[in-house]
Structure 1
Amino acid sequence: MPHCIVEYTSNLGEDAQIRPLLKKLAAKFRDSEGVFPTGGIRVRAIRLDEYVVADGEADDAFVNVMVKIGSGRDPAFKERFFGEMFEMIKAHFEPVFETRSFALSMYVEEADKDGSYKENNIHARLKHQP
């Protein structure tokens, strides 16, 4: 972990620049001073073709970023790290905010250890890289 899922409405089109955003998010997690192991980072996007925003009358758009992390991270670290992440995401979407009706949200939740099952050999591969 972490897992980061970016949901976005299809009416954003190329204006959303989703691929560059995913790369920025992954880089942010890699730059976590070792809090988030590189081998556990998963960043992905889901394009939403079926949705209703607000009253459903306008061409409103939204992006929702959901982050799930393992439990036990320092609360001060989480507040700083995810505050910085949200500012980065807001900056990414600044051109969208300037041109259309748009809603942006981010939620961070900790996974319950008792309900988390994982198997991963990527960590071992990364240990052998220079």
Structure 2
Amino acid sequence: MPHFVVDYSDNLHELLDFQPLFKALHDYVVSTGAFPIGGVRSRAIRCYDYRVADGREGFGYLNLSLKIGHGRDMALKQAVAERVFETLCDWMQPVTAERYVQISFEMTELDPVLKFNKNNIHPLFA
């Protein structure tokens, strides 16, 4: 953890290069000292079926979800959420300067009893 998951409207696909965003997000969360590099992952999911507002063809959306493990204090979570959203909006600025786009972000803290994972990458960074 953390996991960044982006879903976005198909009409934005040609305008987006996710690797710089993912690098900035990974670098930031690791720099906090609260998230180990071996657990950070990001992915983008292109949505072909969507409707934004009144359905105008040019309207787009991009939603970023951040899933984190349980146990971090609220001050850290709030600071991380604010910085992640700022990074996202800065990265989207060239697109929003030219198009109408809804941008959203949410952070979810996963329940420690209901979350399972196996990761053999962590030892590489120990």
- Common fold: TM-score over 0.5: yes
Could you tell me how far 1:38 is from its partner in structure 2? 0.9
Q: Which residue of 1 aligns with 2:51?
A: 52
Give the residue type in structure 1 aligned to 2:8. Y
User: Is 1:39 the counterpart of 2:38 in the alignment?
Assistant: yes
CA RMSD of aligned residues (A): 1.2
Deviation at 1:18, TM superposition (A): 2.0
C-alpha displacement of 1:13: 2.7
Per the TM alignment, residue 15 of structure 1 is displaced from its structure 2 partner at its CA by 1.8
Alignment of 1:1-12 (within 5 A): 1-12=1-12
Whether the 8 Å contact between 2:29 and 2:80 is mirrored in structure 1 is no
* CA distance in structure 2 between the aligned counterparts of 1:42 and 1:113, rounded to whole angstroms: 19
106-115 or 12-21, larger mean C-alpha shift: 12-21
Quote the Cα distance in structure 1 between the aligned partners of 2:88 and 2:119.
Answer: 28
Structure 1 equivalent of residue 113 of structure 2: 114
Q: Is the 8 A contact 1:22 1:45 kept in 2?
A: no
**Which stretches in structure 2 are left out of the alignment for 5+ residues?**
none
| Aligned residue-pair number | 126
Structure 1: segments with no counterpart, 5+ residues: none
Q: Report the CA distance between 1:58 and its aligned residue.
A: 3.4
SS in 1 for 2:13: helix
Structure 2 counterpart of 1:96: 95
TM-score for the superposition, normalised by structure 1: 0.90
Deviation at 1:19, TM superposition (A): 2.4
Instruction: Supply the AA of the counterpart residue of 1:80.
Output: A
TM-score w.r.t. structure 2 length? Answer: 0.93
Q: Secondary structure at the match of 1:93?
A: helix
